[in-house]
Amino acid sequence: MAVRDKTIISTGYNGAPRGLPHCLDIGCARKGMKSGTHPELCRATHAEQNVVANAARMGVSLFGATIYIKDVPCVLCAKILINSGISQVIVKGCEYPGYKDSIMMFSKACIEVKRLIPTGGLILIDIKLFGR
């Protein structure tokens, strides 16, 4: 979800585009493939893509917004979020393959990435830890 001034301005989900059948209904086109591979075969759009698309559909700017997502996004979603004008990314985890590349991109675009910790606080993900 995208938030600005403590108000939700857009939401997104992982799933098929509007009006198209979901993988749960017709089966996954990438069944058996490693996560993050062959995205061109996937019927679904990522939650981050849907946050941006839903905001655009409703005429809502994401400039300066914070996005809250389950995991550090894939590189494609990171690029889309950077171009949407978000200012901060809050994640629960860093499990997605290639997440370090996404964090590097956010860093170069001056977008902070913070990880939600179990106690309810936030910690800044330090790009220096990745040695690039």
Other CB atoms within 10 Å distance of the CB of residue 63: 10
| Nearest C-alpha neighbor of 89 from the set 63, 117, 68 | 68
- Secondary-structure breakdown of the chain: helix, strand, coil percentages, each rounded to the nearest 5: 30, 20, 45
pLDDT tens for the chain, 132 residues long, are: 999 999 999 999 988 888 988 888 888 888 888 876 787 888 888 999 999 999 999 999 999 999 999 889 989 999 999 999 999 999 987 777 778 899 999 999 999 998 888 776 776 666 555 544
Full-model pTM: 0.84
